[in-house]
Chains A and B, each alone.
Chain A
Amino acid sequence: MNTSQWKPLGIAAALLVLGTAGCTDPTVAPKSTVTGANFFDDPGSYQAFLAKIYAGLALSGQSGPAGQPDISGIDEASAMVVAMYYRIYFQVGMANEFLRQTTDDKLTARGVGSALRTQIQQYRAEARFLRALSYWHGIDLFGNIPLVTEKDAIGTTAPKQSTRVDIYNYVVTELNAIKTQLPAPGAATYGRATGPAADMLLAELYLNDSVYTGTANWAGALTEAQAVIGSAYTLDLNYHHLFMADNNTSPEIIFAITQDGVRTQTYGGVTFLVHASVGGSMNARNYGIDGGWYGLRLKPEAYALFGSGDGRTSTFYTTGQSVVVDTIASFNRGIASPKFTNRTSLGDSGSNPTFVDTDFPVFRLGEAYLIYAEAQLRGGGGSRAQALTYVNALRERAYGGTAGDITDPTLTLPFILAERGRELLWEAHRRTDLIRYGLFTGSGYLWAWKGEDPHGTNPAGVATAATRDLYPLPANELIANPNLRQNPGY
């Protein structure tokens, strides 16, 4: 064999080795993509991530008013049960990931300074509040659902189903642990969860304790309501201001899902409430919007709750509208109730006629008054006279004077339920209230279209099974998570 033939071979081999020695690492770091590896290099990222958990309550995705949805396939459509279930776990997932990304170890490793660290501790409390809020929605709507916390790693393992009681206890413990770490109330923290917001959420949980765990805690509800009443918030002198485009200036709102016609756009939220309440012969401009969606009206039973002289009815629209709702598809069946509007208390229109500026009041002081009164009547302590004073405070605002005041004998539990129906109309409390009073299902209380589908033959409503106190777990989720057992009756 001739040695000269090995020479080119040797050169080639050397080239091969040289060429490959530097290029054996296939790793590519994303450059213009923000990932967990570089996201937290910017100190502003912690706030931006926290903002996402708040955003999840108001927006459907990363692109307003629609687009880049948080939840694929369903988010921007209207299957409420399915969307609500996945939204709850989206919120829980975001909060858990925020907590995993902001542990002391992680912050130390990233060299986060002490000022930002203090700020992050507050953010962590807010994330835990928002997780507790979503879990409250979860056990209220669905009952037994999985409990997933920051201790569970991200993956694809289906979580185990927990019980309503266990999640209730978890949420109560969480709220008690964080309520002093939350931001203080004030214009500077508007839109964020404050200490009184945690008290208010605890009050809601205790108020419905008998439903969630079978054991009542009226005293707890009263104590928390009292804590809220003792905080910085005061009743808004103008009831309607609570639902107007400038309701961010209301002194009564404890926690709001914020909306903004320019910067926080969604087709859901208050934009839906305002547009969908307008139709028929109503002039959309009077509500600061560019058109009605011909949707929401009052059931006759809701309309009948209100007495004459009650200023809370001043926004009702009756021209061309009937009281009865004998068919659902026609907007003129049922009294229109454009309670939420895109006009300000000064009479101006909001910043955008399509997307409203009006924030959704999740918790407000007025409800704390009613929780106090109900808990007092149910044996939670406190003073009956005080309860009467609180109820009459709301009545006097509604009637613009003492004409609507009630006396002690009128202060009963059924009255409180009716007053909640009036005061908190369309503020997303009615179902929970009726379940607590044992009236949501069964035949004790019928309302138009109860238990009937839109093509039903009995507009007066029919009795329903007690199993309807809970929503079904989404059918597809039962397949995706074999650990889940469906609620009875579905």
Chain B
Amino acid sequence: MNRVTFYPNNIHLETKNGTDGSYYRTAPSQTNTVLETYLDYRPPANLGPGNLGLTGGYSYARSHAQYSSISAVQLNSNLLGDNGIPPTGIAPVPIDTVTESKLISFFGRAEYNIGDRYLATVSVRRDGSSRFGPGNQWGNFPAASIGWRISREPFMSGIPAISDLKLRASWGKTGNQAFGDYLQFSTYQGCNPKAQVQFGSQFICPFRPSAVDTTIKWESTGTWDVGLDYGIMSGRFSGAIDWYSKHTDNLIFTVPVAAGSNLSNYVTTNIGSMRNWGFELDLNARLLDGGPGGLSWTAGFNATHNANELLRINPNAVGASQILVGDVAGGVGTKIQVLEPGQPINSFFVCQQQYQNGKPVEGKYISLADTVASSCDAASLRAYHDPAPHWMVGFSSSMAYHHLDLSFTLRAWLGNYVYNNVASNLGDYQELSRSAPYNLSTSVLQTGFLAPHYLSDYYVEKGSFLRMDNITVGYTFPWEGRQLRFFANVQNAFTVTGYSGVDPTAGLNGIDNNIYPRSRILTSGLSVQF
């Protein structure tokens, strides 16, 4: 796909930043080569009381991506527009790079099914990824599951209300290699023409090796799941209940490492293990079924509870018992989150603010020893809440009556916290004395802070919310033999939250840093069926 950006040399932006006209064309291309072969074998006759299915296969996937671009600034003329590059003040810079990756898998599966009542599956995959170095390329990922369709049992035939009931349990291990390419190599990066070094009368382009963990390996997750699928009254009510526990080993993270241990201060490596566990509840219902012209209403409800804990940091990963992550705006190198065993991943790492008469006392914190501290340091910093929701609840509804239809989707998160980086960065009067002052965050009216205090837990706020994601109203009627429908739709209709910032889901990993706000989109239209 070709994409061209062109800015004429006479617009304010271009003269102000000194580029004096710019042209950028990029033509990225990607080729994926995939080979999937498998053998499926089902013995024609039953084997014992049930039947057996065997599958064995091989898959090969190769991705070849080519990124070509050319950029030019200081355009001498605007005549060519976005069609080409005129003579330029400095030579245009072409870039052409190739990135490749490979994933090879062998897999086998055996299924055994007794009368659709008792089901068992055992499988194993062996995956080889180009993203890991020799000795770490291959991972084995077995899985097993059993199921019991209770509704097929003879004793259930007397309970017609229950149309479907299935109990299942599974365990499986999966691998994750969805990270960047060439992480296992130290790559040498060249310079741009403005970053050369003088050796006598020559100028040399320096090359820099990157930080690397040459022994980086698969991140793997073992999952236990026990669940129940159900259908009641011929499927009028249906859904599932699941309990799960996931144990992830060799988590891959890009983390700061101790100075001197690698070639830069950050490296991508396997840092440790974590556990997620929780349950999921799913219910779909045809509440009313008025037939054509009558009132119909279907609704769906789902709820998920998840708890997360970092179990341990690999002893050889970074040698530290805590890893600081979560860069924020303001200060230099300020980090607001921590990876700490026993705590949820990306927990906020802050000091407990001291309050007097409900007002934060500037620069005063409650230390871990429960004394008042005048600085936020190791004696006061602690893991405090985390950005992941404890509950995610969704409700969708769809109604129809005569020509009218109405549907909406509601969503809620409970128990998630957000670091209000907009307030922490601009919520102090010192911002006014800067050479280029910013608008202050209104939090300063409550705190009265003179200087910024990024690490105060004052800025860690409850991010629970209820959001109407989508509402649609439609009116359908026939006209000259055709079906016409007028409709109106609102996306992101409203959010109910106690969070003081713009959007509790705005930031990445719970750090709200002035992300461009999510828009509310109103759409209306007419659709005609020919």
Residue numbers in A under 8 Å from B433 (CB-CB): 329
- Does the CB pair B129–A35 fall under 8 Å? no
A45 at the interface (CB under 8 A from B): yes
Quick check: which of B73-81, B152-160, B192-200, B395-403 contacts chain A, the rest being far away? B192-200
Q: Give the residues from 91 to 109 in chain A that come closer than 8 angstroms, CB to CB, to chain B.
A: 92-94, 97
A158-B201 contact, Cβ under 8 Å, with A35-B185, A79-B333, A82-B333: no
Please indicate the chain B residues that have their CB under 8 angstroms from the CB of A27 in the complex.
102, 130, 134, 137
Does B141 lie at the interface of the complex (its beta carbon under 8 Å from any beta carbon of A)?
A: no
Contact at B332–A82, with CB atoms within 8 Å? yes
Q: Considering the complex, which residues of chain B in the window 28-48 have a beta carbon less than 8 Å from any beta carbon of chain A?
A: 35, 37, 39, 41, 44
User: Given contacts A26-B103, A30-B187, A93-B260, is CB(A191)–CB(B198) below 8 Å?
Assistant: yes
Complex Cα spacing A152 to B261, Å? 8
The answer to the question of A15 belonging to the interface, with a C-beta cut-off of 8 Å to chain B, is yes
Q: What's the nearest-Cβ distance from chain B to residue A254, in Å?
A: 15
- Residues of A contacting B265 with CB < 8 Å? 71-73, 86, 89-90
Q: Select which of A52, A86, A248, A262 is within 8 A of B194 by beta carbon.
A: A262
Q: Are B187 and A33 in contact (CB under 8 A)?
A: yes
- Beyond A31-B98, A157-B261, A157-B319, whether A36 also contacts B188 by CB under 8 A is yes
Question: B185 and A36: CB pair below 8 A?
Answer: yes
Q: Of B204-212, B284-292, B383-391, which stretch is located at the interface?
A: B204-212
Q: Contacting B206 at CB < 8 Å: which of A51, A92, A260?
A: A51
Cα-based distance from A397 to B300 in the complex (angstroms)? 89
| A93 contact set on B, CB distance < 8 A | 260, 262-264
Q: Is the CB of B332 within 8 A of A77?
A: yes
Report the minimum CB–CB distance from A95 to chain B (whole Å): 11
Q: Which residue of A has the minimal Cβ distance to B203?
A: A263
- A92 near B324 (CB under 8 angstroms)? no
Cβ of A234 within 8 Å of any chain B Cβ, yes or no, is no
Report yes or no: B204 in contact with A26, Cβ–Cβ below 8 A: no
Task: Specify which of A25, A70, A187 is in contact with B200 (CB 8 Å cutoff).
Answer: A187
Contact status A158-B333, CB under 8 Å: no
Contact (Cβ within 8 A) B320 A480: yes
CB distance from B127 to the nearest CB of A (A): 8
Q: How many angstroms from the CA of A463 to the CA of B87 in the assembled complex? A: 62
A51 pairs with B204, CB closer than 8 A: yes
A59 to B197, CA, bound (A): 9
Asked whether B392 is an interface residue with its Cβ less than 8 Å from the other chain, the reply is: no
Contact present for A23 and B130 (CB under 8 Å): no
* A42 CB to nearest B CB, Å: 10
Residue B335 is within 8 A (CB to CB) of chain A in the complex: yes
Q: Is the CB of B318 within 8 A of A158?
A: yes
B519 near A: Cβ within 8 Å? Answer: no
B-side contacts of A28, CB under 8 Å? 100-102, 130, 181
**B377 lies within 8 A of chain A by Cβ:** yes
A79 to B39, CA, bound (A): 62
Instruction: State which of A61-69, A214-222, A421-429 sits at the interface with chain B.
Output: A61-69
Which A residues are CB-close (under 8 A) to B39?
A: 9, 12-13, 16
Binding-face segment, A202-210, A338-346, A437-445, A471-479: A471-479
Whether A304 sits at the interface, judged by CB under 8 Å, is: no
CB of B226 closer than 8 Å to a CB of A: no
> Within the assembled complex, what's the spacing in Å between the Cα atoms of A61 and B267?
17
Interface 1/0 per residue, A252-265 and B, CB below 8 Å: 00000010101111
Known contacts A32-B96, A146-B259, A264-B194; A15 and B37 CB within 8 A of each other: yes
Closest residue of chain B to A81, judged by CB?
Answer: B332
- Which of B60, B204, B260 is most buried by chain A, counting CB atoms within 10 A of its CB? B260
Q: Across the interface, do B98 and A480 meet the contact criterion of CB distance under 8 Å?
A: no
B327 lies within 8 A of chain A by Cβ: yes
Report A's interface with B, CB cutoff 8 A.
1, 9, 12-13, 15-16, 19-20, 23-28, 30-37, 39, 45, 47-49, 51-52, 54-55, 58-59, 61-65, 67-68, 70-74, 77-79, 82-83, 85-86, 88-90, 92-94, 97, 146, 148, 152, 154-159, 187-192, 248, 258, 260, 262-265, 329, 355, 474-483
Please give 15 more A-B residue pairs, beta carbons under 8 A apart, in addition to A64-B192, A263-B203, A478-B378: A15-B37, A26-B104, A26-B129, A28-B100, A30-B187, A45-B188, A48-B205, A52-B206, A62-B192, A78-B332, A97-B263, A156-B319, A157-B316, A190-B200, A263-B193
Q: What are 28 A-B residue pairs whose CB atoms fall within 8 Å in the complex?
A: A19-B58, A20-B60, A20-B106, A28-B130, A30-B181, A30-B187, A49-B206, A49-B209, A51-B206, A51-B207, A55-B197, A58-B197, A59-B197, A64-B194, A67-B192, A72-B264, A74-B332, A74-B333, A93-B262, A156-B261, A158-B261, A190-B200, A191-B197, A191-B198, A260-B203, A475-B378, A479-B324, A482-B320
